[in-house]
Amino acid sequence: MAEMQIGMVGLGKMGGNMAERLRRAGHDVVGYDRDPKTTDVASLEELGQRLQAPRVVWVMVPSGDPTRATIEELGEILEPGDILIDGGNSHYLDDQKHAEQLKAKNIGFIDVGVSGGVWGLKNGYALMVGGEPADVERLMPIFEALKPEGEDGFVHAGKVGAGHFAKMVHNGIEYGIMQSFAEGWELLDAADIVDDVPGTFKSWRTGTVIRSWLLDLAVRALDEDPDLSDLKGYAQDSGEGRWTIQAAIDHAVPLPAITAALYARFASRQPDSPAMKMVAALRNQFGGHAVTSSEGQHAKGADSPGADVVPPVEAQH
């Protein structure tokens, strides 16, 4: 495998480990980060000066404005024949805009969806790539060094934007799988028939159709905290789940599981769900079902002496 020189912009958890994996494979990596303790150069301009033409620069910074600003600045530094890679979690429509801007200067653009997290340094990173075939072929020594060993873990998914689109869908699927594991865990924990919930999860790791790395990580989490009591039931979303659902709407593709998983994360951020207040109120109205006050006290319901609910016949249950 031919050795290459590459600039890495953004040396955080992902970018830093990727730079290290490339160095271990024999590539010359010049890194830039705003943290003076980790950077090799003081500025993007110095990065451009340190790299030999034709240059390759991999941007690994947060999506949105940070990525847009970095690409715009690099567009003024790089020269015809250079290639810029966006390996962050950018929206695929942004990729197309960036490619057009750089194409006017004869600078190549590649988008790469990267999966592997903090384990990628050891295990390798799954890479989903979008861009011109000639540019992708030129960068294969870099991709070969980053991907896991074996045939899988890399795909030239298609034209510019395809890499991040594929990663977006990957993350949407991840939402759905994680939600299924979470709901299964909650049901096992709620029932009084299963005494060993962590052991049950662990038993699924071999011989079952749901064995997976996510299951392994669930087992690891339960080993560290068997009832997850150290955690608060609050889950953020990176934005890619929303983009996946928007793309589904744009293409009229039904995604009920992924959509429900995203909405479940939204629900996790509500300590007292307004929607559930309405559900409780309606259940009380049509069926006289008991409700709980905001102070946690049992309020009037079907069996309460003070219940004065008289639902219409057609609404009774």
Provide the domain limits for residue 184: 167-268
Q: Looking at 110, 128, 160, which one is the last position of a domain?
A: 160
pTM check: above 0.95? no
Residue found under tokens 């759905």: 176
Shared domain for 246 and 296, answered yes or no, is: no
Burial of 202 (0-12, 13-18, 19+ CB in 10 A): middle
Shared domain for 18 and 62, answered yes or no, is: yes
The one-letter code for the residue type at 200 is T
Shared domain for 296 and 278, answered yes or no, is: yes
Q: Are strands 126-130 and 108-115 parallel, antiparallel or unpaired?
A: antiparallel
Q: Output the domain CATH number for residue 134.
A: 3.40.50.720
Shared domain for 283 and 255, answered yes or no, is: no
Q: Tens place of pLDDT for every residue, the chain, 317 residues?
A: 579 999 999 999 899 999 999 999 999 999 999 999 999 999 999 999 999 999 999 999 999 999 999 999 999 999 999 999 999 999 999 999 999 999 999 999 999 999 988 889 999 999 999 999 999 999 999 999 999 999 999 999 999 999 999 999 999 999 999 999 999 999 999 999 999 999 999 999 999 999 999 999 999 999 998 988 887 777 777 788 899 999 999 999 999 999 998 988 888 887 876 766 777 776 777 767 776 666 655 554 544 434 444 444 444 44
Q: Looking at 139, 160, 181, which one is the last position of a domain?
A: 160
Shared domain for 28 and 143, answered yes or no, is: yes
Shared domain for 174 and 247, answered yes or no, is: yes
Q: Taking a C-beta distance cutoff of 8 angstroms, is the pair 7, 19 a contact?
A: no
Shared domain for 143 and 229, answered yes or no, is: no
Shared domain for 308 and 217, answered yes or no, is: no
**Active-site position among 167, 277, 295, 300:** 167
Shared domain for 58 and 96, answered yes or no, is: yes
Shared domain for 214 and 254, answered yes or no, is: yes
Shared domain for 14 and 115, answered yes or no, is: yes
Is 167 known to be catalytic? yes
Q: Output the domain CATH number for residue 184.
A: 1.10.1040.10
Instruction: Give per-residue burial for 8-28: e unless 16+ CB within 10 Å, then b.
Output: bbbbeebbbbbbebbeebebe
**Active-site position among 20, 97, 174, 300:** 174
Q: Are strands 28-32 and 56-59 parallel, antiparallel or unpaired?
A: unpaired
Domains contained in the chain, number: 3
Shared domain for 84 and 135, answered yes or no, is: yes
Q: Looking at 160, 191, 219, which one is the last position of a domain?
A: 160
